[in-house]
């Protein structure tokens, strides 16, 4: 298995140009007020759910910005819902319920490239003039003919024949990591390589926020903790406070004046 897994990164690397095109599309969409939807079934659907769930706490975005639809609904996240993926109509219905618009991006995840649920969703997305992306392991399947952008890391036969949760699933996870992370960085939800919009919702993340602020500002941990408290635990505001040597209200005003552009507020653009 390990020997076969070593082929995955190479397969993904061959798709970098397509991944970059998809990132451009996602950024353009979100800048216009659009949303990102992952659509999948089984293991592919669960990978979409995982990536969507991580975007809000990692990048401080609304949970409505990146959403995941899985055949069979919430129950399918932890249990196999037999036959849920077999109805083309269900993919359309689930997207229709989200009031899809031309500003949105729909990413269909299907290792086989033939999942009816995903095909139905992509067909409906195309009808709505939303941007469509397919992430699959086979570029010669129906999903490739429907999507505007095709990302197809061809990882070859699985060690356990037909078990696409292995190499194909790992390749999908790597691609989704790239799509969401690169798009969010482009949209300003990072400072250098630091998660400046991290939500400190527990003790571990609160400590991480302090370390991020200290590294970003060049100040010690004590100064970082104090600035975070004064800012109401807003990393952006705290960073402006420390780097520009201003109080919290002034930092908030500087960010507001720069339309939320952190680098512009810091005079680094």
Q: Are 228 and 213 in contact (CB under 8 A)?
A: yes
- Of 4, 54, 154, 215, which residue is the catalytic one? 54
CA–CA dist 82, 42 (Å, integer): 9
Return d(Cα 130, Cα 105) in angstroms, integer: 6
Annotated active-site residue 85? The verdict is yes
Task: Work out whether the CA dihedral 257, 255, 24, 50 comes out positive or negative.
Answer: negative
DSSP assignment of 132-154, as one string? EEEE-S-TTSHHHHH-SEEE---
Give the separation between CA 216 and CA 193, rounded to whole angstroms: 9
Burial class (CB in 10 A: 0-12, 13-18, 19+), 267: exposed
The set of residues, in sequence order, having a beta carbon less than 8 Å from that of 150 and lying 6+ positions away, is 18, 133, 134, 136, 139, 144
Among 4, 15, 82, 85, which one carries the catalytic annotation? 85
Positive or negative torsion for Cα 46, 109, 197, 243: positive
Tokens at 145, concatenated: 């003919």
- In the annotation, is 54 catalytic? yes
- Catalytic positions: 54, 85
């Amino acid at each position: 298995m390990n020997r076969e897994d070593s082929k995955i990164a190479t397969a993904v690397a061959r798709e970098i140009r397509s991944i970059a095109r998809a990132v451009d599309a996602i950024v353009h969409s979100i800048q216009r007020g659009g949303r990102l939807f992952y659509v999948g079934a089984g293991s592919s659907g669960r990978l979409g759910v995982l990536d969507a769930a991580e975007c809000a706490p990692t990048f401080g975005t609304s949970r409505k910005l990146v959403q995941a639809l899985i055949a069979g609904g919430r129950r399918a996240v932890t249990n196999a819902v037999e036959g849920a993926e077999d109805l083309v109509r269900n993919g359309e219905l689930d997207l229709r319920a989200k009031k899809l618009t031309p500003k949105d991006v729909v990413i269909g995840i299907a290792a086989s490239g033939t999942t009816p649920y995903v095909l139905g969703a992509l067909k409906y997305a195309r009808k709505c003039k939303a941007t469509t992306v397919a992430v699959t392991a086979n570029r010669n399947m129906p999903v490739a003919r429907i999507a505007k952008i095709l990302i197809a890391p061809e990882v070859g036969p699985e060690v356990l024949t037909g078990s696409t949760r292995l190499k194909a699933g790992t390749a999908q996870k790597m691609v989704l990591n790239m799509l969401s992370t690169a798009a969010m960085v482009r949209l300003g939800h990072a400072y250098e390589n630091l998660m400046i919009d991290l939500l400190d919702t527990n003790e571990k993340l609160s400590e991480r926020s302090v370390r991020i602020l200290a590294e970003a500002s060049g100040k010690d941990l004590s100064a970082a903790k104090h600035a975070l408290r004064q800012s109401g635990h807003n990393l952006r505001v705290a960073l402006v406070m420390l780097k520009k040597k201003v109080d919290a209200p002034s930092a908030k005003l500087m960010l507001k004046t720069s339309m939320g552009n952190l680098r512009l507020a810091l005079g680094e653009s």
